[in-house]
Amino acid sequence: MRKLKILSALISAAMCVSMVSAPVMVLADEDNVPEETQAVEETEKPAPKETEKPAPKETEKQKPAETEKEEPAETEKEEPESQEPSETEKQDSEEKESEEKEPEITEEAPLEDEDSDEALNALGSGKCGKKLKWSLSKDYVLKITGTGAMYNYGAYDSENASPWSKWRTYSLKIVVSKGVTTIGSYAFHGCWYVESVSLPKTLKTINAHAFDSCGITHITIPKGVKKIGERAFQNCDLLNVTIPSTVTTIGKHAFYYCSLITLVIPKGVKVIDECAFASNYYLRSVSISKSVTTIGKEAFIYCNLSDFTMGSGVKTIGDGAFKSTSLRDITIPSGVTKLGESVFENCRYLETVKLPKTLKSIGKHAFYNCEYGLEKISIPESVTSIGEGAFAECDKLTTVDIPVSGVTSIGPKAFYWCKSLTGFKMPLSVTSVGEQAFKNCTELNEVWISKTQEGNLPSDAFEDCTKLNFVYHDYPLSGSQLLNGPITYIVNDPDIDGTGTVDVIGFDKVAERIVIPAVVENNGVKYKVTKITRWTSQYNNELALKILVIGPNVTSIQDDALSGCPELVSVTGGSGLKTIGARAFANCPKLKVFNISSKTLSKISALAFSGDKALKTLQVKKTTKLTKSGVKNSLKGSSVKTVKVKKSKVKKYKKFFKKKNCGKKVKVKK
């Protein structure tokens, strides 16, 4: 009976064990991958680990407890044939071994099998900024989410490459979400097959190399971006780009070696930096807004530009900015003072160039080898230097319009091999001519030059100019008189170029209105008119002069210069006047208006208006330089009752224009 009870207990225990262990064996079979199922395992996705382990772990813990409760102690030795516990232990061991061997799914998982769900689910995610995350989906959509700036990275083959750079050869769709403010350096460097890029309105900056060597063909940069960094889109397949008005700087090489066809630089952009659009071979048309102030070095070098509209705000054009382009015509805006080295070098089809009056220098090789189109160039008077080789090998250049004064130096080979040039007027201001400046100008037959300049020429300046003839400039020497309109002048010590100053020494007797000019020109040489001398007074009593307007360069009216003019009624102008000499306007009985616009008038000498019975008001409203000694006895003998001055000077000038000082009691008003 006892044996029957023991046997019954053993059978019952065995049944319990079989009921508990049966499901464990199914899961274990799946985990241990028997040979007959290995082929299926290789193509099917493994279930997540969390769903594989909970059931077997619970079963393993429960089974020993149940066995201990059901089996009497004395029967353990009698029934060695029962192996269930050892089988469970073996199963536990196999499960642990399976866990150790099973590959863990991480973002570094291999991608060799592109059709494998395991590979696609392992593409990856992580942080890419303090508050930014990235994720790459199974269909290769790369998303950047969060707020703030992205980390800066290194090139795709560097240790500091972006975490998604390993997928750069896949057809990525880049989506940068709202909240991101900065695209980091090298963020998408070398992503050759990018299908599309979406950027948010929150974006402010695109850092250096951000999209360097990407396969994008079109991109719209959102409004709000202020800076496009150095080489940001270098070597992309861009056909067009939309740049917003918020951008102020386009960095160095930003769009270097792209495929742009047309380009509009919007209002707001101030700086187009070095090589910003260089080597865009298909770029034919560019329009620049007036906000742009700087076009950097080689900004458009090697572009196929034929149509270029330069904004009026440009002040600086860098070296080589338009080198080797296909420009046909160009207008340089007022404000540009320098054309840099090689700025239009090898623009072989350039036909028309308009230079501004603000230009001071033309750099080395500026128009070198503009061989097929440039026939004429007009150089403004403001230009002082023409650099080395500036117009060398301009084969079609026949005419150089250049003022008789202005340019002081012509560099070596400046007009070298301009084989169509027929004449040249050497400015009288030129003091330096470089070696071979006109060498091989084989058609050059007439050069205007001064004898002084001829003696200072390098021996090879006109080498191989076989048709050359010199024509010598003739200009008046110091003390020579010039007659120009109703005024006679005398020349004061001209410089080597003939330029200098002249004094007014006489007026035409029958002229009733005379305007003294700022400059007077004679045979192409210009002179500043700086004085009205006392020599004019010798015939003043015979003059019909009624109205006199004094030029802006006149600084002094000498003693007695305009005294005794019987018909003189009005004197105005004189914005540069500094001194009025003794008796300068004395004894002009009909003089009623005296209104000088000078801010620098500092002295009115004694008896300046003595005997002028009709002159009641003296107007010097702009001057701020008068002093007590500068007006001493100035109104003595005059009929002046009121002096009108600058409002801020009324109180001060009242002290100067006192009877004891100026010689006449007057009122000082604004």
The whole-number pLDDT of residue 154 equals: 97
481-669 has CATH 3.80.10.10 classification: yes
Over residues 195-215, the mean pLDDT reads 96
Mean local confidence (pLDDT), 28-48? 35
Q: pLDDT category, 632, cuts 50, 70, 90?
A: very high
Residue 498, pLDDT score: 59
Say if residue 511's pLDDT is above 80.
Answer: yes
Give me the chain's average pLDDT, please: 83
Task: Please compute the mean of the pLDDT values over residues 510-523 and round it to a whole number.
Answer: 91
Q: Taking CA 264 as the corner, what is the angle to CA 263 and CA 266, rounded to the nearest 5 degrees?
A: 150
DSSP 517-534: -SEEEETTEEEEEEEE-G
CA-CA distance, 569 to 612, in Å (whole number)?
10
User: 526 and 497 in contact (C-beta within 8 Å)?
Assistant: no
Separation CA 293–CA 290 (nearest Å) = 8
Q: Considering only 259-273, 351-365, 392-406, 473-487, which range has the smallest mean pLDDT?
A: 473-487
Q: Do domains 333-473 and 481-669 have the same CATH topology?
A: yes
Please determine, for residue 292, whether its predicted confidence score (pLDDT) is greater than 80: yes
pLDDT tier, 522 (very low <50, low <70, confident <90, very high otherwise): confident
State how far the alpha carbon of 485 is from the alpha carbons of 469, 489, 508, 520, in Å.
Answer: 34, 10, 8, 10
In whole angstroms, what is the distance from residue 140 CA to residue 282 CA? 31
Residue 615: which H helix or E strand, with range?
none
Measured distance between the N- and C-terminal CA atoms of the chain, rounded to whole angstroms:
143
* Predicted confidence (pLDDT) at residue 18 exceeds the cutoff of 60: no
Q: How far is CA 208 from CA 167, 263, 571, in A?
A: 21, 21, 66
Band (pLDDT 50/70/90 cuts) for residue 499 is low
178-189: pLDDT as tens digits: 999 999 999 999
Name the band, by pLDDT with cuts 50, 70 and 90, for residue 612: very high
Per-residue pLDDT for 50 more than 60? no
pLDDT of residue 69: 36
What's the CATH number for 333-473? Answer: 3.80.10.10
pLDDT at residue 306 tops 50: yes
Instruction: Average the pLDDT over 234-241 and give the result.
Output: 94
| pTM for this predicted structure | 0.61
Per-residue three-class SS string for 59-83: HHHHHHHHHHHHCCHHHCCCCCCCC
Q: Which residues contact 26 (CB under 8 A, 6 or more apart)?
A: none
**What pLDDT band is residue 539 in, cutting at 50, 70 and 90?**
confident
- Cα(522)–Cα(499) distance, rounded to whole angstroms? 10
Domain residue spans of the chain: 2-34+53-77+86-99, 333-473, 481-669
- The residue among 44 and 133 whose pLDDT is bigger is 133
- Distance from C-alpha of 75 to C-alpha of 40, rounded to nearest angstrom: 45
